[in-house]
Chains A and B, each alone.
Chain A
Amino acid sequence: MSLTDLTLQELSTKLAAREVSAVEATRACLDRIRAVDGQVHAFLRVDEQGALAAAAASDSRRGAGGALSQLEGVPLALKDNLLTEGLETTCASRILGGFIPPYDATVVRLLKDAGAVLLGKTNQDEFAMGSSNETSAFGPCHNPYALDRAPGGSSGGSAAAVAAREAFGALGTDTGGSIRQPAALCNVVGLKPTYGRVSRFGVIAFASSLDQVGPLGRTVADVAALLQFIARHDAQDATSVPATVPDYSAELEAGVAGMRLGLPREYFAGGMDPEVEQAVRDAARAYEQMGATLVEVSLPHTRYALAAYYLIAPAEASSNLARYDGVRYGLRAKGVRGLEELYSRTREEGFGPEVKRRIMLGTYALSAGYYDAYYLKAQKVRTLIRRDFEQALAGVDALLTPTSPVPAFRLGEKVDDPLAMYLMDVFTLPCNLAGLPGLSLPGGFTRAGLPVGLQLLGRPFDEARLLRVARAFEREHPFHARAPQL
C-alpha cells in the first residue's frame, strides 16, 4: 500500500506518531500527481515549491513539539476559485489568466493556520458554471473511474484529485450541487455546509446567495475533520453566521438507531437511472436494518426548483461578473478604441460560451420590464421551496435522496445541450435555494463500475447529524475503499 492510499485521518495519525514526515507525504502526493494527472487533469496548477516549503516548515513545528492540529502537515488541494496569496488563481477562465491574488481567502488562511500543506489549484468549470468540468478554459478534468467520462462539476478537479489519491482532501464550492455531484460521480464524500456556516471572503463569487465552500474527502471522518477547521464566523463576510461550532467528530460513530429518515416522494418520480434508484432504495433498506425508521415525505414544489435556480443563479452571476472589465486585473483586449469597447471586447474574448450564456440570461431576467416576471417570481418560488423543506424536516432527522440522477456521463455528451446539463443538478440545487446542509457519500457502483452517490439533506447547522448518518452507512458499506484503476 502506498502512502497516498491512506485516508486523511490515517496520515494525520502517522504524522503525529512521526512514522511519516510532512515532506514525505507531500513528495508522495507530488509523485502521484506526476504519475496520473496527465490522464486525470485534476490540477490546473501544482505549487511544488510552495508545498515542499510548507511541509518542511510543518516538520520543524513537529520537531519543536507542542500541540498541533489534525491537519498539521496534511497535503490538500484547493479549487481554483479560492484566492491564494501569491499563487495564480483563474477560476478556470481566460479572463483571470495571470491573476495573482494579493491575499488569501479566509478558508485558505484557516487551513494554512492549521498547518496544512497546499498542493495546488484544482480544475473546475469556468466560474463554477457547469456540471461536468467541461467549461474549464484549460481543458476538462477526467473521471478517475472512467477516463472518457466527466468527473462532474463544477468542483470536478477537487473530487477527482481526492479520488485519484493525488491529495488527502480538498475544498470545493457548491452553488447548485458543485461539491456533491462531482463527489457522487467520483466515489468520494462531499459536504455543502449550511449557507453562512463557512466564510465566502476571498471566494470568487458566482451566485452570492447560494455559494458555499465545503470539504471533499475519501471518508466521512476526513470530511468532518476538514469542516472542523473551516466552519467559523468571519466578520469579513456579512453573511457568515456566528453560530456555535460543534465537535463534528464527537458523534460520528453514534449510529442511526431511533432516527427518522425521510424519502421525498418527488425525487423518485421518474427520470432517474434505474441503477441509481436501486442503490438509493438499497441504502434506505440498509438504514432500516440499522434501526432507522423510513418515512415518505413530500416536497411539493420540487419540480419548480430548477427553473427558480436558473433564474436566480444567472441573475446574481450577471451582477457579480460585471467586475471583469479589463481595468484592474486579468485579461485586457488589445487594439480597442474607447472604454466601452475595452469592456465589451475584453469580456467577449475572456469568457467562454456557458459563462456568456448565463450572463445574458441573468441580465435579461433583471432587465427593465422582466424583473417581476422572472427574478422576483423566482425569489417567491424560492420561499415555497424553503417552506417545503421546513415542513418535511420538522418530522425527520434527515432526508435521503440520490445525489445525481445518472452516474458519470461521457465527456462531450451533454456539453452542447444546456438544458440536459442543467438537469444534472435537479436533486442538488433545491438544497442551495433553501440554504440547507447537504452531503454526498459513496452508495455503490453500477454494473459498468461507475460510482453512485447518496445524498443526505438536513436542517440548518445540523452538519454533525448528516455526518453521523453518513458514517453509519459507510461503516457497513465501505464503497469508498474501492480505488480507481489508474
Chain B
Amino acid sequence: MKLTLEQVRHVAHLARLALTPEEEVRAASKLSAILDAVDTLRELDTTDVPPTSHAVLVEALLREDVVKPGLPPEVALANAPAKADTSFVVPKVIE
C-alpha cells in the first residue's frame, strides 16, 4: 500500500498535525512500509470471527451514583496556558 503525499496531508489534517514538507515525505515512505507489513492480516479469513475490543472485560460495571466533588475551577485551570476568570482562553473562533 503506497500512501500518496495527498493522502498524508489529508490524514495530517484529520489528526491536526501541521507537518513540514520534509515530514510529509518521510511519513509517506515510513507509513507505506508499515502498511505493507500489516497487510499480512488479509491472509486470514475472519468472516465469522467476532471482534475483541477488550480482552478481559465481560460486562459493563456500574458504580453507585454518589455525588462527589470534582476539581474546583481554580485547580482545573491551574495548568492552562491562557485563562480568564473561570474559563480557558483560546483564539477568536468567529471573526
Contact = CB atoms under 8 A, between A and B. Distances in A.
A327 interface: yes
A432 to B, nearest CB: 8
B56 A460 contact: yes
Contacts of B8: 360
B71 interface: yes
Given A99-B79, A339-B93, A377-B41, A347 B17 contact: yes
B25 interface: no
B11 A363 contact: yes
Interface residues of A, number: 73
B46 A380 contact: yes
Contacts of B40: 303-304, 307
B50 to A, nearest CB: 6
Contacts of A100: 78-79
B50 A383 contact: yes
B81 A380 contact: no
A325 B23 CA distance: 20
A343 interface: yes
B53 A209 contact: yes
Interface string B23-59: 1000100110111011111111010011111111100
Contact of B80 (A329, A363, A378): A329
- Interface SS, A side: helix
Given A304-B40, A339-B93, A433 B55 contact: yes
B14 A363 contact: yes
B39 to A, nearest CB: 8
Interface residues of B, number: 55
Contact of A356 (B23, B38, B90): B23
A347 B41 contact: no
B53 A304 contact: no
B61 A380 contact: no
Contact of B17 (A306, A311, A359): A359
Nearest to B48: A380
Contact of A195 (B27, B31, B56, B63): B56
Interface in A339-370: 339-345, 347-348, 351, 353, 356-357, 359-361, 363-364, 367
A17 interface: no
Nearest to A239: B57
B31 A364 contact: yes
A377 B46 contact: yes
B19 A348 contact: yes
Given A307-B40, A341-B18, A347-B18, A382 B88 contact: no
B61 to A, nearest CB: 6
B79 A329 contact: yes
B54 A195 contact: yes
Interface stretch (A27-35, A330-338, A467-475): A330-338
A262 interface: no
Contacts of B93: 338-339
A380 B51 contact: yes
Interface in A376-391: 376-384, 386
A209 B27 contact: no
A308 to B, nearest CB: 7
Given A341-B18, A342-B90, A379-B51, A311 B46 contact: no
Given A332-B81, A336-B91, A304 B14 contact: no
24 contacts: A102-B78, A195-B55, A241-B56, A301-B44, A330-B79, A339-B90, A339-B93, A344-B18, A347-B16, A348-B17, A348-B18, A356-B27, A357-B27, A357-B31, A360-B31, A361-B31, A364-B3, A377-B46, A379-B51, A382-B51, A383-B49, A383-B50, A384-B44, A384-B46
Query: 7 closest Cβ contacts across the A-B interface?
Result: A435-B55, A379-B51, A332-B81, A329-B79, A380-B46, A344-B18, A435-B56
